[in-house]
Chain A
Amino acid sequence: MIKELTCITCPMGCQLTVVDKNDDGNFEVTGNTCKRGPKYAINELTNPTRVIPTTVVVRNAMLPRLPVKTAEPIPKGKIFDAMKVINQVVVDAPIKSGDIIIENLLGLGINVVSTKTMAKC
């Protein structure tokens, strides 16, 4: 099996070629310019994951929305389930960047964290 991928780990967008000669999960990755490339490629073929940046409702802050993200990438297939949970959350300012907003999202062992410091006002 041979697969062409664009690495999305960073904005470089390296074109990766993944070869699995015997279809036995022994992947050989070329085209990467850093060591994150092969990790991404193998992950993408076996268990593709994404970080979800979005917002939650925040009260008593300068703005009505607080930006948040999943602290780690979550499985691609869980993105919309994750959004459903995140959309239910309401938090109150003050909030610091990095504060945990949702613990153990969907039982994945991954938290949703604030990505902005918002003072109370």
Chain B
Amino acid sequence: MYDIAIIGAGIAGSYIARELSRYKLDIVLLDGENDVGNQITMANSAIVHAGFDAPSYKLKGKFNAAGNIMYGKICDDLDVPFKRCGSLVVAHDEFEMATIHDLYKNGLKNGVPGLKILFKDEVHAMEPNLSEDICGALYAPTAGIVSPFELCAHVAENAVDNGVTLKLNHMVTAINKVDDYFSITTADENIDAKLVINAAGLYADDVYEMVGEPYFKLLARKGNYFIFDKDAGSLVNSVIFPCPSKNGKGILVSPTVHGNLLIGPDASPVDKGDVSTTGEQLDYIKANALKNCPALPFKKIIRSYAGLRNTPVADTFTTTDGDFILEESPVKGFINVAGYESPGLTSIPAVAHYVVEEIVKPLIPNIESNPNFDPKVRPHLRFEELSDEERADIIKKDPKYGKVICRCETITEGEILDVIHRNAGARTVKSVKKRCRAGMGRCQGGFCSPRVVEILARELNCSLDEIMYDQQDSTYILAGQTKSAKEEA
């Protein structure tokens, strides 16, 4: 019997698990995927928002700026790439300037530090590659960019370091309330827990309906993105938002924390799980991104992808107004962390603290602190960032750092071995890519993915064709050996 079962190992579930591991509790973190942070956490804008747009009366408004402030320390403890590069909301005319003034006022209410309204020449001095048509902007110096997959992987790693049990490939199919505990059915086993935290992302409504009467509904809204080569990474220095409209934040242009450039996302309602990119939407993004940044070099695109948001929508039984749902549900002991869309990534350090301290703790009498809790992960060595002397030293200590596997990003075998052998470690080609960037570069794994497959097979002691790209069993890379009739062990 676990004290707490958390359903969903995205950024919300993983982070809450890690915060709960500060206490002496038996915690299990469940996910249906073959890796942590493999859905919404994986494909988004990767931005740590300053917090000026959500209304201050909403949870979003309350937690955004609070989460933002915590990022520096969190990313330091968890060794996650994070850069406070600032953001600009740009205006093309006086109507948009009026919106910018409204955002400024709202930002002050939300406690966003350092906000400033810039004139045209100030904008262009800061961002020389923006359109000449831009007449002003709201500057938010606290906005930043982060690597969401590394954040989630390291949070999950830290949670496991501190005693949380992580069970991947555990898709929850049913939940039964039995007396004072819950019995959770997964394909492989039944898991019993006194409390359940539902952080199932896009499927949080479905999961809740396994135990309670529906009171919220989640809509999948798809966003398409493009990633540009590092050659284009310095086109902008900060996150460039268009002026928001009733359709949302609009198409942004942003540097990524690893030095690429990202544009996107659009927002169109789709079926849950539909992460296909569409030609028209990709064209729409290009056209809109060009309005603010006319010099975008589309020849340097290295990848396009789509991600989903989980937006709570009005329905006959809905009580939500599009805000985060963070509460003990009508089913006692069952906590919903739902409708967790943007600015969810930014808010999570503050939200996790709130969920643990204000929702979970009152439900557990005599909770004791975990004296062994260590907030830091073992540092990740990133070969590319080392000085020549440090490089020489590390290869002397471990020759595997002398073997470059991913040429585009200069990722060594030592780094790949490290992410495989950590807690919540990589098991698939994609999970290696998410954790240490092998395959993220301009050749998109063309060269290194066969080597990564070889390394995974060797380290996990299986054959090459047992290595998956992503999901267990269904995302095979190789379909068996040639001459298979004759192959010998």
Contacts and interface: CB of A to CB of B under 8 A. Distances in A.
A90 interface: yes
Contacts of B486: 57, 87-90
B246 to A, nearest CB: 60
Interface residues of A, number: 9
B271 interface: no
Contacts of A17: none
B482 A59 contact: no
A56 B488 contact: no
Contacts of B487: 57
A90 B488 contact: yes
A89 B485 CA distance: 10
B299 interface: no
A88 B486 CA distance: 6
Contacts of A59: 488
Contacts of B485: 87-88
B482 A55 contact: yes
Contacts of A56: 483
A65 interface: yes
A89 B488 CA distance: 12
Interface in A9-33: none
A79 B483 CA distance: 16
Contacts of A87: 482-483, 485-486
Contacts of A55: 482-483
A88 B484 CA distance: 9
A48 B156 CA distance: 63
A55 B482 CA distance: 9
B457 to A, nearest CB: 13
A55 B481 CA distance: 12
Interface centre among B482, B485, B487, B488 (most CB of A within 10 A): B482
B488 A65 contact: no
Interface of A: 55-57, 59, 65, 87-90
Given A57-B487, A88-B486, 6 more contacts: A56-B483, A57-B488, A65-B483, A87-B485, A87-B486, A89-B486
| 7 tightest A-B CB contacts, nearest first | A87-B483, A57-B483, A57-B486, A88-B486, A90-B486, A57-B487, A87-B486
17 contacts: A55-B482, A55-B483, A56-B483, A57-B483, A57-B486, A57-B487, A57-B488, A59-B488, A65-B482, A65-B483, A87-B482, A87-B483, A87-B485, A87-B486, A88-B485, A88-B486, A90-B488
